[in-house]
Amino acid sequence: MRNRILIVAAGAATLASGALLPAAGAAGATGDGSDAVPMCGRSASYVVSHRDVDGDGRRDTIKSGGSKGQTVIVKINGGETLRRSIKGSFVEALGASRIDGRRGAEIVVADGFSGGQNGARMDARVLTYRKHHLYLLAAPTGGRQWRSHSMPGIESGWSKHRAHNRRYLTHRVVRRVDGGKRFTGRAVDFRWQDGDWTRAGSRKLHFPSRKAANRIVGWRMQGVEYWAGC
């Protein structure tokens, strides 16, 4: 997986090879986000979290802004304000947590939702701070979308843990077995190394029911709402 994605700053300044992606719009731009809607009638402008984003050890302020909540605003403790527009069928900032191996928290933003009464798929993007800009952090599974499922045939989500003084990100996916009640699948661990995600191992997962499998759904990490919505 090493060097699979070119790191490009907003405005097309190339930094290095790794797991960052170009983000839509120039740094500081808000975009119009004309098709985005805030979830559950929540005000479009609200404080999402107070977390250290730039890695200096001081808490920064993360806000949702724009006319329909489609802009992530980070007020860095000490002065600068960063903005990043996110376009999607709806946009909801879920929170912030340290996800890759660098200092500072990443910001998780849900930007797509599809499904019905029986289940849904939630898409998210992850923003990370680098050199006075907010970049899209590529998912270790590839691309800019970090997907979670809660559906009759598939359950999936993201979590993290530490072992042997290293930080690991885990992607869990299980599927219903032969139309029955059981779900089986795998948990795949990734770690951040030399500016990119590296696969660090996997293990089998077994759940006796969808209710049991639902424990892995969404974002299971401190500081981030596990699922978008009410």
Instruction: Say yes or no to pLDDT of 204 above 80.
Output: yes
- For 24-28, 94-98, 122-126, which range has the lowest pLDDT when averaged over its residues? 24-28
Find which of 12-21, 60-69, 210-219 is predicted with most confidence, using mean pLDDT.
Answer: 210-219
- Confidence band of 43 (pLDDT split at 50, 70, 90): low
> What's the mean pLDDT in 41-48?
74
Question: How does pLDDT run across 46-74, given as a tens digit for each residue?
Answer: 899 999 999 999 999 999 987 666 899 99
Model pLDDT, residue 104:
96
**Cα 23 to chain centroid, rounded:** 14
Model pLDDT, residue 11:
31
165-174: b (≥16 Cβ within 10 Å) or e: eebbbbbbbb
pTM of the model: 0.83
Find which of 30-44, 115-129, 156-170, 210-224 is predicted with most confidence, using mean pLDDT.
Answer: 210-224
**Cα 81 to chain centroid, rounded:** 21
CB 70 within 8 A of CB 15: no
> For the chain, what are the domain ranges?
5-220
Check the CA dihedral 162-49-77-91 and report its sign.
positive
Model pLDDT, residue 76:
97
